[in-house]
A and B are shown apart, each in its own frame.
Chain A
Amino acid sequence: SQTIHQWPATLVQPVGSPLSLECTVEGTSNPNLYWYRQAAGRGLQLLFYSVGIGQISSEVPQNLSASRPQDRQFILSSKKLLLSDSGFYLCAWAKGKASSYNEQFFGPGTRLTVL
C-alpha cells in the first residue's frame, strides 16, 4: 500500500531564517506531487505541483520554492521566512498519467509558525 510522510510535524522558526520541509511517498512510482498551504484551518491554496523529477510548476508568486530531486521526494524551501509564511503545509500525491481524475492523498502536514 502507499504511504506519504511529511516532516517535521511542527516547526517554529524566526523571521528571516531558511526553511526546508520534506515529503516522501512510498509504494508507488511516478506520482504527481503537490504542496498546499492551509491558513487558519480552512481553505487550501495550491503552491506547487510536479509531474516528474525536476519538473516544478508554481501556482502563485511567493517567498517559497519547491524541488523534486527524486521520483518520490518533494521539498518545500525558503531562503528567508516571512511572518506571512506561517500556516499548515500539506503534501499530497496522485497517480500520474494512468487516469486524469485520480484522487489526491494527503500527508499528515507540517505546522509552521514564523515568529
Chain B
Amino acid sequence: AQSVAQPEDQVNVAEGNPLTVKCTYSVSGNPYLFWYVQYPNRGLQFLLKYITGDNLVKGSYGFEAEFNKSQTSFHLKKPSALVSDSALYFCAVIHSGAGSYQLTFGKGTKLSVIP
C-alpha cells in the first residue's frame, strides 16, 4: 500500500529563516508525490508535485521540494519564511484504483512562522 509520513506535528521557524517540512514515502513502483497547504477553515491548495524528471521541484509561493529516492523523502522547503506561510501542510502520494487516481495524505504538519 502507498503511504506518506510526516514525522513532525508542528514546525516553528523565525520569519526570514529557511523552512523545511519533512515527508517520507512508502510506495510500490514509481512515486508520484504532492504537497498541499491549508489555511484555517479553508480547502487545500495545491503547491507542487513530483512525477518524474528533476529532483528539485519548484511550486507556488516560492516553495520547492526535493525528491530523494535513496532516502525515500520529499521534503518541502522555502529559503525565507513569511508570517503568511503559517498554515497546515500536507504531503500526499497518488495511487490507482477502479479507474481513478487517488491521493493518500499524510497527517499534516502545522507550520508557525514567528515574527
Q: Is the interface of B mostly helix, strand, loop or mixed?
A: strand
Q: Are B101 and A102 in contact (CB under 8 A)?
A: yes
B44 → chain A closest CB, angstroms: 4
Q: Are B99 and A51 in contact (CB under 8 A)?
A: yes
Q: Are B107 and A109 in contact (CB under 8 A)?
A: no
Does A87 belong to the interface (CB within 8 Å)?
no
Q: Are A104 and B103 in contact (CB under 8 A)?
A: yes
Q: Are A57 and B51 in contact (CB under 8 A)?
A: no
Given A42-B108, A44-B90, A101-B51, A32 and B42 touching (CB < 8 A)? no
Chain B residue total in the interface (Cβ 8 A) = 27
Does B98 belong to the interface (CB within 8 Å)?
yes
Does B13 belong to the interface (CB within 8 Å)?
no
Q: With contacts defined as CB atoms under 8 Å apart, how many contacts are there between chain A and chain B in the complex? A: 60
Which A residues lie at the B interface, using CB under 8 A? 6, 32, 34, 41-44, 46, 49-51, 57, 88, 90, 92, 94, 96, 100-109, 111
Given A42-B108, A101-B49, A106 and B43 touching (CB < 8 A)? yes
Q: Is the interface of A mostly helix, strand, loop or mixed?
A: strand
Q: Which residues of A contact B42 (CB under 8 A)?
A: 108-109
Q: Are A41 and B88 in contact (CB under 8 A)?
A: yes
Q: Which residues of A contact B100 (CB under 8 A)?
A: 32, 49-51, 57, 96
Query: From B43, which residue of chain A is reached at the shortest CB distance?
Result: A106
